[in-house]
Structure 1
Amino acid sequence: MALIECFECKQRISSTAPACIHCGAPAAAQAVAATPSSAPQQAPLSFGRLPTDESVPRATPAAFRRRRQAQAEPEVAASVAAPTGPRKVELWLKIMVFLLPAFFVWFLLRRGHSALQRLIGFAWLGLLILLTKA
């Protein structure tokens, strides 16, 4: 295994890679481009992407991403089980809602907290607001 230069993005990639990991250009086109010719050819100065060979199928990073996401979706669905019942209010949140309800009561709006938990938190906030005005 050797490191070769991608013909399209000029990054270094493995010679055994099926496609460039940076731009997705297929490595088969590199083998065709890397064949020695009778006279050494100098590549023209380029300020962008080099023209691609349309006869070679293009592997795009998006295609790799979709394939990885399709493989990962069953794993994620299995690892994230549906919550049963309301979410538990952690001790740190109880303390901070008691001490600084104006800032921390909004954490009760996260998914999973019951209406009773929200009612208690916002009632405490309302009570403290009424007490400060009196």
Structure 2
Amino acid sequence: MALIECFECKQRISSTAPACIHCGAPAQAGQAATSPQEAVISFGRLPTNESVPRVTPAAFGRRRKPEAEPEPELQIQAPVPAPAGPRPVELWLKIMVFLLPPFFVWFLLRPGHSWLARLLGFGWLGLMILLSKA
């Protein structure tokens, strides 16, 4: 008896098991090849999200146990309120608006930036456009 990899869920199972204990897939369906030269190539496990609870199907022929307690209801969090004052213009944004205004002045349109910051940024963009045409 050896541990083999399930062709469906890529988990390790016994070579004598009739079906995968994790996903329920028949063990012989994915093993057409019996010799090591004809073994199925595996690329590892499927990506999983650890915050999502894992669900395993009930084994064949077994009855499902009743759940002892109901699942808790989902609680929806309130959205984060916007800051009360104007959003400060970060140093990296000031430098990039000065050097490459056509690309970075649009970041000033994000919520929270003051009208003065937007006026200065777009005014600098307009001045650069006028100077480039002269």
Shorter chain as normaliser: what TM range? 0.3 to 0.5
The structure where helix makes up a greater share of residues is: 1
Query: What TM-score does the superposition give when structure 1 sets the normalisation length?
Result: 0.48
